[in-house]
Structure 1
Amino acid sequence: MSILTPGDIDHRVPYFFLSYEPTPKYGPEDTGDPDEWVRAFFERLSRVVAESTALGDSDVVGYMDDERPRAGWSPRTAAALRSCRVFVPLYAPRYFVSERCGREWAVFARRVRRSVSESEQIKAIVPALWVPTPPPKVPAATEEVKFDAAAMGETYQRLGLYGMMRTDLSQAYEASVAELAQRIVDAAESSRVLPGEEMSYQAVHNAFTGYPRRKLQIVLAPAQRAPARSGAYYGGEDAEWNPYYPQSTTSLADYATDLVRNLEYAPEVLILRDSAEEVLGSQPPSAPAVLIIDPWAGDDPELLRQLRRLDDLDKPWIDIIVPWNRDDDQTYRLEGELARKLEEVLRRRLVEGRMSSRISARDTSTIEEFGRTLRAVVHRVGNQYLKHTTAHPPTGPQASRLRLRGPDGAENRINREDRDA
């Protein structure tokens, strides 16, 4: 038996493809492998599947993508998606807000629809319940797949596989893995799915876009590197800015995106210097926004100009956070001076207290504290956005067609005449 991972040079067809959303690391104390439980489950499931089939030692049983490029799929993952016989999505609330998982589902579902008649139910997608997931969090795309957690037992339905592993319910866990393996084997033997054509990641539509998520903008404002500032906190691109280095190995954009997804928003990452008109323009708001400002912004004249512009605007659906790292000696040595420069250009927001914006080092001195602050700020700007988009619809000739947002955050247009009628 062999298990296919992206590091392998192997062109054989995997029996099943495990689709899952990785767990992010949440701070310096999180030094282990956040997906060790997923990996242990995958290896056990692969072994049980192998024991239930006539697969030989050279055959590939399962594929788990544990090496994720910043954008898109690795060539190995793309090949496995195009060729695997069974698709095993690991159900959890995090799974259904994952752009990558939604596209993986779409690729395999497209292969199935090309392989069976419209009247046939999709059998080659065999879900596994990782964490109990309330029905409202499960998108409509899953309706074409039979999934009956109750049939796997009360413990499985109540705890999911992860819960059984963590509570050491080994007997129930082994029974669930055995049942799941049998379902995978039955699906592989009863339905032959045609290979898929080669498609780029960008060309695939996310199958979960019907999930009711509201858009939220994460606007990064890293400073252009000052001579006195270490480059260790900045990558080759603004989106790689990591002010909590070395305790955190994750960019602030990736960390914030994962956290915002868990709050049931659809995050959009913007760079202020590239998106100033979209964020600071006079047009009606399209989404709430959190502006994350580098403490060293005072040494960047162009960034200071944009922040002055922000301070002149009355946009309560935009709030700011300044990430301070207590282990960053450079920043803490100049904390007073850096804070003073920010207060000079953000006087209305910070000094006069028009908003409860966060500049205090006490609120964001570690990545964990930053996360707690971000949760609170997201909740606040989300409420402000709903308040102001409801209370202040656009007026004037340009508003002859109104933009309305439903509870799913989707934008609909109606004629003003239709509304008035």
Structure 2
Amino acid sequence: MLYFFLSYASDEDDIFVRRLYRDLSAEIARRIGAEPQQVIGYLDDSGNGRWPADARSALGTCQTFIALCSSRYLASDRCGRYWGTFVDRIRKDDSAAASGALIPVLWSADGVSGDVFHEPGLDVQPHRTPHGDDLRVMMRLRSHRAGYAAFVASLAHRVVETAHAHRLPDGPAGVDLDAAVNPFDERRHRPGAGPPSTKVYVVVAAGTREQMRAVRDDLRFYGRRREDWSPYQPMTPQSLAARACGVVSDRRLQSEVVPIESVPERLRKGLQRDILVLLVDAWATRVEDLHRALREIGERDDEAVAVLVPASPGDGETSARRGELRGEVLRSFPGRASWHDSLFRVGVDSPDEFDADLATAIAAAQRRAYRRERPGGSRPGPRRPVLEGP
């Protein structure tokens, strides 16, 4: 039996989330007398890339769903689809006891409204910390260790009691999470909720480790998937896509990581209010399919596309060829290379600078989208270059 599925927004204090997962698993194992090799719960720590196959299976068989709720969680399309899929399992069970399997936990109250835990027709009861504190704050403070231990014990008790009192039937095999409904998105767009919010599509223009093997020597920044690219190692091992989604969430916007192959079609259809953020590895210009995609995107010179190109000082190989690689990137975006533009940043040196530049780019893209929507606010004429020097 898989006792719980722990759902959280990627880059939401990942270290503490993993600690909670380990502590909760250990406490449940102690209570049920589990064998050492028994898997107690599931944590999707794959970031914001493709849906892991084991996540689909876990979501269809877990007996409880623990959601670490925060503003980032509610803005995450991935988390919303997980939540919606599990709620569908509860509704199909048609038992009053099944509602208890959905366990929201307040991870961070900032920006979270009181009705977030409401699901029509279900009696959803959040699991709160002893004094109603944010769980993420409690875990950080040494003075709250006893309270944290008590919370983990009470949560483990609830999970075990719920799983043993009523067995939730398994969901259909091979759950199609791409087709799942995100109820958080629906609630934002219900009648009277105002205009649709901006969605930020995050695109990683970087190769996999296998692809980059033919291009450069230092492969420690790459993984099995493009989305694993983490250029700021060893300062931070976090993937750049996950970091970008965190910045987007901080601005109370939705984000979704999409493949670079989907970008040209999205641009042809028009982004409307939406924004596209392109995270470019300077070495990508030497990978044929990525170089071709970058040129196609660059030729459109779309004002709703923000381009950020990291250049970490911890990457000696890139630093040694910085000028050469910079030139190759600029040639991929001929319409923007000569402009001083907050939506086009080459040589972003640190994680903090990346966060600041991305937040600035998103704000600028939102302003431009607003101008396009205003009457007579069609795309402006040619931009005038900003001249340097006297």
Query: Which of 280, 289, 298 is the equivalent residue of 1:293?
Result: 280
Query: Which of 386, 391, 398 is the equivalent residue of 2:370?
Result: 386
Q: Tell me, in whole angstroms, the C-alpha distance in 2 between the residues paired with 1:80 and 1:283.
A: 37
| CA 116–367 in structure 1, closer or farther in 2 if over 3 Å, else same | same
SS of 1:327 mapped into structure 2:
coil
- Written as runs of structure 1 = structure 2, the 5 A alignment for 1:127-276 is 127-132=104-109, 134-136=111-113, 139=116, 142=119, 144-147=122-125, 153=130, 155=131, 157=132, 159-167=133-141, 168-184=143-159, 187-188=162-163, 191-202=166-177, 204-210=180-186, 212=188, 214-222=198-206, 229-230=216-217, 232=219, 238-244=226-232, 249-272=237-260, 275-276=263-264
SS of 1:309 mapped into structure 2:
helix
Does 260-269 or 336-345 show the bigger shift?
Answer: 336-345
Alignment of 1:71 with 2:50, yes or no, is yes
> Retained in 2: the 8 A contact 1:219–1:272?
yes
Tell me, which stretches of 5 or more residues in structure 1 are unaligned?
Answer: 1-12, 27-31, 395-421
Q: Shift of residue 109 of structure 1?
A: 2.4
The CA deviation string for residues 144-200 of structure 1, in whole angstroms up to 9 with x for no partner, is 3433667x65x2x2x223322322223433444454445445545654533433232
Q: Tell me, in whole angstroms, the C-alpha distance in 1 between the residues paired with 2:344 and 2:282.
A: 11
Q: Shift of residue 17 of structure 1?
A: 0.7
- The letter for the 1-side match of 2:296 is Q
Q: Tell me, in whole angstroms, the C-alpha distance in 1 between the residues paired with 2:217 and 2:376.
A: 45
> Retained in 2: the 8 A contact 1:18–1:42?
no
Q: TM-score, normalised by structure 2?
A: 0.71
Larger radius of gyration: 1
Q: Shift of residue 21 of structure 1?
A: 1.6
Q: How many residues align?
A: 359
| CA 82–349 in structure 1, closer or farther in 2 if over 3 Å, else same | closer
For 1:369, the equivalent position in structure 2 comes to 353
Q: Shift of residue 248 of structure 1?
A: 5.1
Tell me, which stretches of 5 or more residues in structure 2 are unaligned?
Answer: 189-196, 379-390
- The letter for the 2-side match of 1:39 is Y
Q: Shift of residue 228 of structure 1?
A: 6.2
| CA 291–138 in structure 1, closer or farther in 2 if over 3 Å, else same | farther
| CA 375–64 in structure 1, closer or farther in 2 if over 3 Å, else same | same
Q: Tell me, in whole angstroms, the C-alpha distance in 1 between the residues paired with 2:336 and 2:322.
A: 19
- The letter for the 2-side match of 1:46 is I
> Retained in 1: the 8 A contact 2:305–2:343?
no
For 2:17, the equivalent position in structure 1 comes to 35
Q: Tell me, in whole angstroms, the C-alpha distance in 1 between the residues paired with 2:22 and 2:140.
A: 12
Structure 1 residue ranges, 4+ long, deviating more than 6 angstroms after superposition = 223-228
> Retained in 1: the 8 A contact 2:200–2:276?
yes
For 1:326, the equivalent position in structure 2 comes to 313
- The letter for the 1-side match of 2:21 is R
Q: Pairwise CA RMSD of aligned residues?
A: 4.2
SS of 2:184 mapped into structure 1:
coil
Q: Tell me, in whole angstroms, the C-alpha distance in 2 between the residues paired with 1:234 and 1:186.
A: 43
Q: Tell me, in whole angstroms, the C-alpha distance in 1 between the residues paired with 2:172 and 2:314.
A: 49
For 1:316, the equivalent position in structure 2 comes to 303
| CA 307–74 in structure 1, closer or farther in 2 if over 3 Å, else same | closer
Q: Tell me, in whole angstroms, the C-alpha distance in 2 between the residues paired with 1:149 and 1:129.
A: 8
SS of 1:275 mapped into structure 2:
helix
Q: Percent identity?
A: 23
| CA 216–284 in structure 1, closer or farther in 2 if over 3 Å, else same | closer
> Retained in 2: the 8 A contact 1:292–1:322?
yes
Q: Tell me, in whole angstroms, the C-alpha distance in 2 between the residues paired with 1:216 and 1:90.
A: 22
Q: Shift of residue 95 of structure 1?
A: 3.1
The CA deviation string for residues 70-94 of structure 1, in whole angstroms up to 9 with x for no partner, is 533444x555544444333333333
- The letter for the 2-side match of 1:64 is Y
Q: Tell me, in whole angstroms, the C-alpha distance in 2 between the residues paired with 1:292 and 1:321.
A: 5
Alignment of 1:108 with 2:86, yes or no, is yes
For 1:335, the equivalent position in structure 2 comes to 322
| CA 198–164 in structure 1, closer or farther in 2 if over 3 Å, else same | same
Alignment of 1:20 with 2:4, yes or no, is no
> Retained in 2: the 8 A contact 1:18–1:62?
no
For 1:356, the equivalent position in structure 2 comes to 342
> Retained in 1: the 8 A contact 2:21–2:43?
no
The CA deviation string for residues 277-324 of structure 1, in whole angstroms up to 9 with x for no partner, is 533x484635222233343466677467436523xx4x4332322211
